[in-house]
A = this chain, B = another copy of it.
Amino acid sequence: MADKIKVALNGYGTIGKRVADAVARQDDMALVGIAKTRPDYEAYVAAEKGYDIYAVDAAKAGPVFKEAGLQIAGSNEEMIRKADIVVDATPKGIGAKNKALYEKLGKPAIFEGGEKHELTGISFNAAANFDEAIGKQYVRVVSCNTSALCRLVYAIDSAFGIRHAHVTLVRRAADPDDIKKGPVNAIVPDPITLPSHHGPDVQSVMPHIDIVTAALKVPTTLAHVHSVSISVKGTPLRQDVVDALRKWPRIWLIPPLYGIKSTAGVMELGRVLGRPKGDMMENAVWEESVSVDKNGNISLFQAVHQESDVIPENIDCIRAMTGLAKDKLKSMAKTDRSLGIGTLKPWRDFPPHAEGVEAVTAR
């Protein structure tokens, strides 16, 4: 087998820690390490998993980590030098500042949806535009809501041709571990001005789609729900729409017999399957909700797990940029198999199960 692509994770928050775990499960990738600033519980867990921990200011962080009983492998820059590609999962806006470093070191980099499209000129969704990222130096993986919209919109557009889409995004107010945000008891149009940025963000991947989005925050932490209205060319049968969605990976049509009634049910499915962190990386489309009126207006609901749906997209983006794969469906299938996406099989049974993390430095 060819050498594995060495991936450095700069940023180890909600997305970074998940991408690190996903990279560690790929048989064509190796995790160089992750960057942390403080020896908190995440650092202990990362060390337990065998991940090398790097720090922006190694000289300063080293003694702090040492006192906590943890070892620093070196500086951020040292980590990036060892890598073939960097995934920058730092907080919104920091990625843009980090780009100069990646340029200096000549390393390709993936940025997340918090950064602007203009930073890279290419915004990515595996199903919609994998080919555009092939061999590119800088690519942005769009955010959780936009990723889910791209999957759905691409599936419907490629089957029927979209005339107009209006989607209301009912957004979770905060992630489960975020105690700083509200509201406790209110519905918050956010932004109040319309459209929200999500429509233009979909267009950064698929410029020809006519889409308007409206977003509101509500007091829940589990997942977003999209209320989707899409008018298409012609008037497909409801079953045609169901079939068009079912043929695409990462869109899970939740059948009525599952008895899943809410975002709580969707996330409980991820938990009972034993998935890491209980993640639900697919769009969960309620099959019952799919409807088509006499004029070809499709309506449906989908749940979107904000913490994890972009993870497989990051993996495919690494493959496209580094030349590991030229065929999007093959890359997506490989990624999905490794992460257990789209199956009711319990997580412990997924091949390949990484036998610890390969130590890149020791090769």
Q: Please state if A214 and B189 are interface contacts (CB–CB under 8 Å).
A: no
Bound-state CA distance A242–B257 (Å) is 45
A221 at the binding interface (Cβ < 8 Å): yes
Bound-state CA distance A194–B187 (Å) is 22
Bound-state CA distance A231–B231 (Å) is 12
As a 0/1 sequence over residues 135 to 148 of chain A, the CB contacts with chain B under 8 angstroms (1 = contact) are 00000000000000
CB distance from A275 to the nearest CB of B (A): 18
Bound-state CA distance A212–B265 (Å) is 26
Give chain B residues whose Cβ lies under 8 Å from the Cβ of A185: 219-222, 264
In chain A, residues 187-206, which have Cβ atoms closer than 8 Å to a Cβ of chain B? 187-189, 192-195
CB distance from A286 to the nearest CB of B (A): 5
CB distance from A213 to the nearest CB of B (A): 9
A293 at the binding interface (Cβ < 8 Å): yes
The count of identical subunits is 2
A216 at the binding interface (Cβ < 8 Å): yes
Bound-state CA distance A220–B185 (Å) is 5
Q: Please state if B263 and A187 are interface contacts (CB–CB under 8 Å).
A: yes
Interface-located stretch among A12-20, A71-79, A116-124, A164-172: A164-172
A303 at the binding interface (Cβ < 8 Å): yes
- Tell which of A185, A194, A195 has the most Cβ of chain B within 10 Å: A194
Interface-located stretch among A61-69, A126-134, A294-302, A342-350: A294-302
Contact size range, A: 35 or more
Q: Please state if A225 and B229 are interface contacts (CB–CB under 8 Å).
A: no
Q: Please state if B218 and A170 are interface contacts (CB–CB under 8 Å).
A: yes
Q: Please state if B187 and A289 are interface contacts (CB–CB under 8 Å).
A: no
Give chain B residues whose Cβ lies under 8 Å from the Cβ of A264: 183, 185-186
Q: Would you mind naming 27 contact pairs between A and B with Cβ atoms under 8 Å apart?
A: A164-B297, A166-B297, A168-B170, A170-B218, A172-B187, A183-B262, A185-B219, A185-B221, A185-B264, A186-B262, A186-B263, A187-B224, A187-B263, A187-B303, A188-B263, A189-B286, A189-B301, A192-B289, A192-B301, A195-B291, A195-B299, A212-B297, A214-B289, A216-B301, A218-B218, A218-B220, A227-B227
Known: A189-B289, A195-B291. 15 other contacts (CB 8 A): A168-B168, A170-B170, A170-B187, A170-B216, A185-B222, A187-B223, A187-B262, A189-B301, A193-B289, A194-B300, A212-B229, A212-B297, A214-B299, A219-B219, A219-B220
> Across chains A and B, which 6 residue pairs bring their CB atoms closest together, nearest first?
A186-B264, A168-B227, A168-B168, A166-B229, A218-B218, A188-B262
A-side residues, CB < 8 A to B, are 164, 166, 168, 170, 172, 183, 185-189, 192-195, 210, 212, 214, 216, 218-225, 227, 229, 231, 256, 261-265, 286, 288-291, 293, 295, 297, 299-301, 303
